[in-house]
Chain A
Amino acid sequence: MPDNGWIWTLEQRIASDTGEGREVVSRILAALAAADWAEHDIFAVHLAMEEALVNAIKHGNHRDPSKTVEVTCRISKDRVQVQVTDEGAGFDPTLVPDPTDEENLEIPSGRGLMLMRCYMTSVQFNARGNQVSMEKLRTPPNGNGKATDE
């Protein structure tokens, strides 16, 4: 495996249980803090991971105790990559309506996906739609927390 400067990696299979999901997230957040990532970046990864895991456990695996969720994570000094894979049938992310459209603003769903996209630098799904790969680049020291800002 080529050296990409990863200083922390994790590969873990968890039950379809949000409590277990949160333990994995806590480990990842602790690793980011240990690698001196800024609080607003850690908040962003926390939010995106919370949404990705709830999607996988609740909507993907439908909390089926016989199904698991696979979480992989790599952290370097300047980037974090996370992949969450469930055993569900998958979904088509292009069919999720934009919750910020005027007519959808009061509909209580669809915000998890948009938060993931806003807070991470990139969010991609596999063709089946049961695996999300997210990456966040560390915000430069003079940045304001938005990965797109210069």
Chain B
Amino acid sequence: MPVHRRVEVSEIGDVTVVRFVDRKILDTANIQELGDELFALVENDNRKSLLLNFSRVEFLSSAALNKLILLDRAVKKHGGRLKLCNLRPEIQEVFVITRLNQMFSIYDEEAEALASF
């Protein structure tokens, strides 16, 4: 089983739920590592239904947003679905300002997101 340093991964039904370890997603090296771990779930482990739970995330930069866009691209390429949940209001606002809330399916609660797959 692959070792994850930046995320905690669990399976709930057919959905792979990913929780971020870091409260702040901004360091370039961390984002690279985070991206590698997320991409491995899609490209190596062939997970099709991915839910990112942001409950711990207090801060993220545009570099993290860019990584999420690339992840979404990879998930779609593999015929999967990527959804987001539990964004704090200030993180939600970042998605609204950048209009990425239109690109990603975002849910308030994990249970609601799980039911939507």
Contact = CB atoms under 8 A, between A and B. Distances in A.
Nearest to A116: B62
Contacts, number: 53
A115 B97 CA distance: 8
Contact of B94 (A40, A47, A109): A47
Interface string A136-150: 000000000100000
The binding surface of chain A is classed by DSSP as: helix
Interface residues of A, number: 23
Nearest to A112: B62
Contact of A43 (B69, B90, B99): B90
A108 B28 CA distance: 15
A18 interface: yes
A40 B61 contact: no
Interface string A96-130: 00011000011111011011001000000000000
B26 interface: yes
A67 interface: no
B103 A108 contact: no
A75 B61 CA distance: 23
B117 interface: no
A19 to B, nearest CB: 8
Contacts of A47: 59, 61, 94
A43 B59 contact: yes
A87 interface: no
Nearest to B93: A145
Interface in B94-115: 94, 97-100, 102-103
12 contacts: A47-B61, A54-B28, A54-B61, A58-B28, A100-B98, A106-B73, A108-B65, A108-B70, A112-B61, A114-B98, A115-B62, A118-B97
